[in-house]
């Protein structure tokens, strides 16, 4: 069983504790705006990725994939990250919000999205906010990511979580398939289009910002591209 340690932030205080991860789910094609969803479909189609028959869809992931490490190992040099909000369900069934990266092998993704989801670790920031603290202004939360190109950090993604389905809607869609989000679950909630197109990059930085409460969760990591 995978154990992850987070700082759980609520009411102005933070408590560090370790959670035993039992389930990991990656929600895909979660765009709320059909125009933006089509934009993401097209950018992936350019890479040879065939979209699913219906949206949203849910990919089961190995519970060993999420990691708070600052370095991950990936085979070959064709992988890249994408910033996503995440929902963590704690041992009591409470929801917590964070940010993670669905780091994906883009070469494998062209012939199997499901297989590509299993090949790379999924970095997550080691900090979480209580969902109830942001639920009323959920659509105000902002996602950003940067990639390192040469010596500079270049903006790679930027937008509101309102571009994706509300996590409560995702949970309802998941239940409609006969599945649940039990305690010990992490679900990644979907991503934004990449500025300049999806491209392999080893160094990635991500941020989930709450402009209402004036705070942010950030995390950076580097992928070590192992020789094939």
pLDDT tens, 100-145?
999 999 888 888 888 888 899 999 999 999 999 999 999 999 999 9
| CA distance linking residue 33 with residue 199, whole number of Å | 23
- Predicted pLDDT at 40: 67
Q: What is the band of 3 on the pLDDT scale with cuts at 50, 70, 90?
A: very high
- Going by the DSSP 8-state scheme, the letter that residue 124 receives in this structure is B
> Does residue 173 lie within any of the structural domains?
yes
Domain count, the chain: 1
Per-residue confidence at 161, pLDDT binned at 50, 70, 90? Answer: very high
- Could you tell me the CA-to-CA distances from 150 to 52, 119, 142, 199, 203 in Å, in that order? 35, 26, 26, 14, 11
Q: Which residue has the tokens 């603290």?
A: 133
Is 86 part of any domain?
yes
Residue 202 lies in a domain: yes
CB 29 within 8 A of CB 41: yes
Tens-place pLDDT, residues 59-96: 999 999 999 999 999 998 999 999 999 999 999 889 99
Phi, psi of 108 (to 5 degrees): -70, -35
Mean pLDDT of 45-62: 81
Starting at the edge strand that comes first in sequence, how are the strands of the sheet with 127-130 ordered? 13-21, 2-10, 127-130, 95-101, 83-89, 185-188, 23-28, 57-61
* pLDDT average, residue stretch 50-56: 76
Residue 99, pLDDT above cutoff 70: yes
User: Does the residue 129 lie in any domain?
Assistant: yes
Average pLDDT, the chain: 92
- Portion of the chain with pLDDT greater than 70, in percent: 99
Count of CA atoms in the C-beta half-sphere (13 A) of 77: 2
- Please report, for the domain that includes residue 212, its CATH number: 3.90.850.10
State how far the Cα of 196 lies from the Cα of 219, in Å rounded to an integer: 22
Is the pLDDT at 4 greater than 80, yes or no? yes
> Rounded distance, CA 177 to CA 7, Å?
32
**13 located within any domain:** no
Q: What is the pTM of this model?
A: 0.92
Would the pLDDT of 174 be above 90?
Answer: yes
pLDDT the model gives residue 110 = 82
How much is the average pLDDT of 54-62?
89
Residues 179, 182, 185, 188: what is their CA dihedral angle, to the nearest 10 degrees?
A: 40
Residue 183 has pLDDT above 90, yes or no: yes
Q: What is the pLDDT of residue 90?
A: 94
Instruction: Answer yes or no: is 12 within a domain.
Output: no
Q: Is residue 55 part of a domain?
A: yes
Give the structural domain span for 30: 2-7+18-226
Q: What is the pLDDT of residues 193-221, one digit of tens each?
A: 899 988 999 999 999 999 999 999 999 99
Token pair, residue 10, equals: 């609520």
pLDDT value of position 18:
96
Nearest to 98 by CA among 181, 167, 180, 162: 167
Q: Which residue has the tokens 């109830």?
A: 132
């Amino acid at each position: 069983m995978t154990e992850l340690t987070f700082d759980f932030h609520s009411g102005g205080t933070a408590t560090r504790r370790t959670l035993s991860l039992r389930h990991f789910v990656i929600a895909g094609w979660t765009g709320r705006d059909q125009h933006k969803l089509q934009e993401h479909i097209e950018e992936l189609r350019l890479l040879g990725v065939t979209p699913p028959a219906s949206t949203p869809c849910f990919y089961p992931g190995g519970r060993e994939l999420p990691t708070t490490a600052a370095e991950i190992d990936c085979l070959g040099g064709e992988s890249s990250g994408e910033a996503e909000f995440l929902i963590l369900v704690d041992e009591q069934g409470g929801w917590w919000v964070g940010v993670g990266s669905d780091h994906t092998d883009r070469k494998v993704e062209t012939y199997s999205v499901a297989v590509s989801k299993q090949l790379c670790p999924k970095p997550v920031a080691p900090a979480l906010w209580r969902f109830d603290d942001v639920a009323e202004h959920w659509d105000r939360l902002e996602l950003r990511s940067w990639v390192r190109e040469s010596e500079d950090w270049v903006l790679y993604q930027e937008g509101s979580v309102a571009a994706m389905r509300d996590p409560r809607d995702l949970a309802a869609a998941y239940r409609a398939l006969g599945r649940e989000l039990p305690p010990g679950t992490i679900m990644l909630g979907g991503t934004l289009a990449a500025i300049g197109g999806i491209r392999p990059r080893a160094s990635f930085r991500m941020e989930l910002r709450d402009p209402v409460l004036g705070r942010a969760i950030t995390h950076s990591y580097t992928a070590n591209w192992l020789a094939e």
